[in-house]
Amino acid sequence: MKANLKRLALLALVSIVSLTAYSQASRGYDGLRDSDKAKRGSDEKASLRREKDEDGKNETRDGEYWFSRGYALHQSDHYIEAIEAFSHSIGLGFRQATSMYNVACGYALLNDKDNALFWLNRSLAAGFDRADLLKDDSDLDPLRSDPRFKEIVQKASFTKKEDKPGKDKTTSRLEDAVSNFDQLRREPSRDGDEWYKVGSRLLRLRDFDRAATALTQAVGHLGYGGASAMYNLACTYSLKGDRALGLEWLEKSINAGFDNSEKLKDDPDIASLRGEPRFKSIQELSRVLSLSQFNSPKSDGSQYSKQRWAPAIKTYESFLQDNPTNGRGWFNLGYALHFSREHARAVHAFEQAVQFGYRKPVSLYNIACAHAMMGNRDAAFAWLEKSADAGFDLEGYVLGDDDLDNLRSDPRFKRFQKVADDGHKNKNNK
C-alpha cells in the first residue's frame, strides 16, 4: 500500500495558486458550500482533459468533474481513489488549495502521516485559509498526536487575528478526549457505551495506550454487545504494531458478532494484519459467519421460506461439524431454522448458542419466539422471562414482533406489554 500511496503523492505535484477555501466539514450534496457556488464561475473555465468513457469514446472531463468525483469517493471511504481524483483536479487547475487539503485528509485516514502532513503544508501554502478546520475536522484526527501537526496548527493560527492563541478558548480535540477518558476513570464509570465512544475517539486520534484501556473497559461492560469495541481494539493493536493481539481481538470480534467483511478487506487501520497467515482464516471465518449473505429480501417481503434459508442451514451445519463450540455458528443455524419454520430444531440451536456464550439475552428471546410460534405458551412465557432477566431490550420488540402473536390474548402477556410501554415512555420523557 505504501508504494501505491507514494505514487499518488507524486501524481499531484503541480504549481501552487491561491483559491477559495473549501471545507470538508461543511459540504453540501454537491461538495460545494453555498458561498462557493457564486464564486465558481472562473473555476468552470479550467483546463479540460480528454478521457475515454466505458465505451471507449472520448469524453471531456474537467477539473470540476474530478473534484466532485473525489468528494464522492472520499465520502464513501474510498480514500486512495479519492486522492487520485483530487490529484487530477489539482493538475487541471481547479480549486487546487482545497483539493490539496482533501488529499491531506485522505492520507490522514489511510494512516500515512508523512504524505498527509506534506499535502496539508502545501494546501496552506497554496492559500487554504480555514485554520478552524485544522482544529475541528475529524478527518485529521489521526494526525493530532503528532508534534509536526501541532506546529502546522500553531502557524496557521496566526493567519487571522481572531485565531491568535491568546484569544483561542477552544480545547483541542485530543485534549477533550483525554479529559473525558480521565473523568470516566476517576468515577470509575461502568457505562460501556461511554467507554466505547471515548476509546473510539482516542483510537482515531492515535492515542493508542488510552484507546486500548478505554476499549478494554467497553468490552468488559458491554457484554454481548461489545463486538464493535473488540474490533476497534484489533485496530488499536494493529496500528500500535502488536499484530498478535490485533489478530486475537479481530477473531474475537467476529465470533462475538462483528459483521462487516468489507472492513476486513478495506479498513486501513488493520492493514498491518493482512500480511499475516492467520488473517486469511479470520477473513474466511468472517465471510462464513455473516448472515447477510443469506438475508436478501424476497419479492413477497416475507422472511419465512424453506427454500431461501436452505443454503444457510447447510452452511452452518457443515461449519459446526468442525467448530462445535462456536456460539455464533449455533445462533446463525437457529436463525435460519426459525425462518424455515423448523422451530423445534431452532430451539436446540439457540440453546447451544446460550451454552457457548453467544448473545445470551437475544438467544433466550428467540427461544421464546420459537415456542410461541409452536403454540407452547407456558414455555414461551418462561423463556421470555429469562430473556428479560438476562437484559434483553423487551420494549424494542414485544409490541411489534409478529412471532409473539400467539401470546397476545393471554393475560400473562400484559405484564410484558406494560414493561415495553413504560420503556417507551421513559425514553420519550428524556
Q: What pLDDT, in 10s, does the model give residues 210-243? A: 999 999 999 999 988 999 999 999 999 999 999 9
Do 359 and 224 touch, CB atoms closer than 8 A? Answer: yes
**Average pLDDT per block of 10 residues along the chain, 430 residues long:** 38 30 29 30 37 45 88 88 92 90 92 91 87 85 88 72 43 86 95 96 94 97 94 97 97 96 90 95 96 71 85 97 97 97 97 96 96 96 93 82 92 84 58
Q: In the chain, which residues fall in CATH 1.25.40.10?
A: 2-164, 173-289, 298-429
Architecture of domain 2-164: Alpha Horseshoe (1.25)
- The helix or strand, by DSSP H or E, that contains position 62, with its residue range, turns out to be strand 58-62
CATH class, domain 298-429, is mainly alpha
Please count the other Cβ atoms lying within 10 Å of the Cβ belonging to residue 202. Answer: 27
Phi, psi of 106, rounded to the nearest 5 degrees? -60, -45
| Entry field: residues in the chain | 430
Question: Number of C-alpha atoms within 13 angstroms, CB side, residue 100?
Answer: 31
For domain 173-289, give the CATH superfamily: Tetratricopeptide repeat domain (1.25.40.10)
This prediction's pTM:
0.74
Please count the other Cβ atoms lying within 10 Å of the Cβ belonging to residue 60. Answer: 9
CA 352, 355, 356, 357 dihedral sign is: positive
Nearest in space to 406 (alpha carbons), one of 383, 378, 385: 378
Gap between the Cα atoms of 374 and 405, Å rounded: 11
Nearest in space to 373 (alpha carbons), one of 399, 337, 349: 337
Which pLDDT belongs to residue 33?
25
**What torsion, rounded to 10 degrees, do the Cα atoms 234, 235, 239, 244 define?**
20
What is the tens place of the pLDDT at every residue in 309-340?
A: 999 999 999 999 999 999 999 999 999 999 99
